[in-house]
Amino acid sequence: MEKLRVGIIFGGMSSEKEVSLNSGRNVYDNMDRELYEPVPIFMDSGGLLWELPWQLISQNTTTDVSERLAEEARRVAYEELKEKIDFAFISLHGKYGDDGCIQGLMELLCIPYTGPGVLASALGMDKHLQQKVLEAEGLAVPRSVVIHERDWGARREDVKKEVVDAFGFPLVTKPLREGSSVGVKINRSLEDLECGVTEAFRWDNSILIEEFLEGIEFSSIVLDGDDGEPVALGLTEIHPQSEFYTYDDKYMPGRCRKFTPPKNISREDSQRIKAEVLRAYKALRFRCYGRIDGFFLRDGRVLVTDPNSSSGMAPSSFFFEQAAEVGMLPSMIITRLIEIALRVHRDKKGPL
């Protein structure tokens, strides 16, 4: 029998391309060769696709890969992708990666792919709109205001007064559409706030200023079940060693304490959190899988702060940690994800 050719798409155009390189390589390394033929497809910083030979997959950075593309890799035009792969395992993160862009391209090419469709991916990326949808479904989210660059230019003093009056310090500033904590700052004074806002605007034209949450941060991977009902794979309690869960805490080994299952959250509260996680997953129309992050506050409230329509897949990621907790090896959960995605795409009417 012909094996399914699974294109692993990684690299990309976002601030998270190095994270994506790590994810993609790990998925490539762990894919079950008995079942699938993995095809590594690198997206360069201009959005062009390349089929990589093995020696480029193991490069440390996307710059190392990019420098050798012209000599050693094969360009794959978008319309050629369909001849190369039967399925896309999307290991891209961030803008153009899990925000609906690549998903739209896959739909046009009729290639089934991991993760949700265009709309849900875009919602998973937009930190303002996702809060609106979650709120409308009765879920608790942090209080925040969205600020567009032109408003900041025109009414900066008013805006500062409004947010400080409403939420008090500390205040969290973040770009509307980023991930991996890129552009996120905790601000404890008006001076900080100026810097935090400026930093966030480096990454997007709209930003959020959010109330600061005190409690235990959590993360939960969700998979679509066989009957289509989503299931929370596990729950991890996160104790960053920095002021908050920064890029370094996320990706540098030994920079963060994690407990799966949680150590300081009771079984009962964990069940309550998982129920909220599943409500958020459904509210945003996530499909196939996702990762829902939030805070368990001191007063017992559960707030969803960061629903993600995909997950990092480095060896130390929540994805593999929570899979291991239920006895699944990386190869097994990767197979599971492909099976779920194939089913979801088989059943769809029009784009996912």
Ligand X SMILES: Nc1ncnc2c1ncn2[C@@H]1O[C@H](COP(=O)(O)OP(=O)(O)O)[C@@H](O)[C@H]1O
Residue 172 and residue 162 in contact, taking contact as beta carbons nearer than 8 Å = no
CB of 32 vs ligand X, minimal distance in Å: 30
Q: Which is nearer to ligand X, 65 or 207 (CB)?
A: 207
Going by C-alpha positions, the residue among 68, 73, 69, 62 that lies closest to residue 15 is: 62
Q: Which is nearer to ligand X, 44 or 126 (CB)?
A: 126
Residue 182 and residue 247 in contact, taking contact as beta carbons nearer than 8 Å = yes
Q: Which is nearer to ligand X, 6 or 213 (CB)?
A: 213
- Start-to-end C-alpha separation, the chain: 28
9-28: contacts with Mg ion (CB under 5 A): none
CB of 293 vs Mg ion, minimal distance in Å: 5
CB of 81 vs ligand X, minimal distance in Å: 28
The stretch among 142-150, 230-238, 306-314, 332-340 that binds Mg ion (CB under 5 A) is: 306-314
CB of 252 vs Mg ion, minimal distance in Å: 16
Q: Which is nearer to ligand X, 152 or 212 (CB)?
A: 212
Tell me whether strands 171-175 and 185-187 are parallel, antiparallel or unpaired: antiparallel
Apex CA 163: angle with CA 183 and CA 242, to 5°? 40
CB of 238 vs Mg ion, minimal distance in Å: 10
CB of 61 vs ligand X, minimal distance in Å: 20
Residue 217 near which of Mg ion, ligand X, none (CB within 5-8 Å, type-dependent): ligand X
Q: Which is nearer to ligand X, 87 or 247 (CB)?
A: 247
Residue 301 buriedness (CB in 10 A; 0-12 / 13-18 / 19+): middle
The stretch among 137-145, 162-170, 250-258, 290-298 that binds Mg ion (CB under 5 A) is: 290-298
CA distance 347 to 323: 26
Residue 330 and residue 30 in contact, taking contact as beta carbons nearer than 8 Å = yes
Find where tokens 């030979």 sit: 53
CB of 240 vs ligand X, minimal distance in Å: 6
**E strand residue ranges, 44-192:** 49-51, 74-76, 87-90, 144-148, 171-175, 185-187
CB of 300 vs Mg ion, minimal distance in Å: 22
Point out the residue whose Cβ comes nearest to Mg ion: 306
What type of residue sits at position 307? P
CA distance 188 to 90: 38
The stretch among 72-80, 88-96, 159-167, 292-300 that binds Mg ion (CB under 5 A) is: 292-300
CA distance 301 to 221: 20
Number of residues that bind Mg ion (CB under 5 A): 2
Q: Which is nearer to ligand X, 22 or 335 (CB)?
A: 22
Q: Considering only residues 123, 306, 307, 345, which one is a binding residue for Mg ion as defined by CB under 5 A?
A: 306
Q: Which is nearer to ligand X, 178 or 237 (CB)?
A: 178
State the residues that interact with ligand X by CB under 6 A: 142, 172, 174, 178-182, 184, 210-213, 217, 240, 244-245, 293, 305-306
Side-chain-side CA neighbours of 198 within 13 Å: the count stands at 6
Residue 174 near which of ligand X, Mg ion, none (CB within 5-8 Å, type-dependent): ligand X
The stretch among 119-127, 195-203, 277-285, 291-299 that binds Mg ion (CB under 5 A) is: 291-299
Going by C-alpha positions, the residue among 306, 47, 351 that lies closest to residue 177 is: 306
Residue 174 and residue 208 in contact, taking contact as beta carbons nearer than 8 Å = yes
Supply the DSSP string of 295-346, one letter for each residue: EEETTS-EEEEEEESS---STTSHHHHHHHHTT--HHHHHHHHHHHHHHHHH
Q: Which is nearer to ligand X, 40 or 179 (CB)?
A: 179
